[in-house]
Amino acid sequence: MTKAGYILVILLGIASLGILQLKTVPSITDLQGQLASALDSQSRAEAAQRTAEAAQRDAEDLAETRLAELTDAKDSLKNAMTALGQQRLRGDQLDTQLTEVNEQLLDARRELQTWKALGVDQKFIVTMKQKIQDANDEIAAITEEKEILIRQMDQIRYELGRFVGPTTKVVMPDGIEGAVQAIDSDWGFVIVDLGQKDGARENGELLVSREGKLVGKIQISSVEENRSIANVVPGWLQSDIQVGDVVAY
C-alpha cells in the first residue's frame, strides 16, 4: 500500500471515531440523566417511607396514651363508686347511732321525771341533767357529721354524673334556695346567688318562681364559689324572668 493509502485509511479511522463519539455522547448523557432521576425517585421514596414510619409511631403513641387515659378514667369511676358505697355505709351507721342516742335521751328524761316524782336529791338530778346534756352534745356531733357526709355524697354523685354522662340528672341538696341577681335576655342566661358553698352543681336544674307561681326552669352552666350562671330551659318559660325571682331545687 502506498503512503497515500495509509493516510487515507488513517483519515477514515479518525472519521469513524468522530462519528462513533457523536453517537455515544448523547447516549451517555441520557443514561446519566436517567440515573440522576432514579436516584432522586429513590431519595423521595425513602423520605416518604421515613415519614410514614414516623406517622405510624405517632399513631401508636397516641393510641397508648388514649388507652392509658381510658384506664385512668375507669379506675377513677371505680374509686368513686367505692367511696360512695363507703359513705352510704357510714350514713347508715350514723342513722343507727343517732336512733340509739335518741332512745337513750328519752330513757334518761323518763328516768329523770321518775326520780323527780319520787323526791330524789338534787345531786342525782344534776348528774342526770349532765347525762342528758352529754347525749344532746353527742346528737349534735352526729348530726353535724351526717350533714357533712350528705354533702360529700352529693359531691360524689356529681362526680359520678360526669363519668356516666350528661343525660344523668344532676343531684343537688334538697331545699337549696336563692334568687336571680342579673338577667341577659339577648343571650338567654341569668345569674343566681347560689354557688358551690350552697351545693350548686354544673348542669343542675332550678325552678324559677314569683309570688308562689312558676315562671320557668333554668339549667346551671357554670358554678363559682358564691354564684352560678344558668341558661333558660326551652319550653318551661311561663313569663319573663325578673331580678329577684326565687330559684329553688
DSSP state of 197: G
Q: How confident is the model at residue 242 (pLDDT cuts 50, 70, 90)?
A: very high
Q: Are residues 118 and 142 in the same domain?
A: yes
User: Residue 185: pLDDT above 80?
Assistant: no
Q: Are residues 90 and 193 in the same domain?
A: no
pTM above 0.85, yes or no: no
Q: Are residues 163 and 183 in the same domain?
A: no
Contacts of 232 (CB under 8 A, 6+ apart): 188, 189, 190, 216, 217, 218, 241
Average pLDDT, rounded, for the chain: 77
- Domain hosting 237: range is 177-248
Note the pLDDT tens digit of each residue in 46-55.
877 887 787 7
**DSSP for 175-196?**
T-EEEEEEEETTTTEEEES--G
Number of domains in the chain: 2
Residue 208's domain is classified under what CATH number?
Answer: 2.40.10.410
Q: Are residues 28 and 65 in the same domain?
A: yes
CA distances from 241 to 116, 126, 172, 214 (A): 60, 58, 22, 10
Q: How far apart are CA 147 and CA 159, in angstroms?
A: 19
Q: Are residues 136 and 236 in the same domain?
A: no
Note the pLDDT tens digit of each residue in 134-164.
877 887 887 787 777 777 776 666 666 555 5
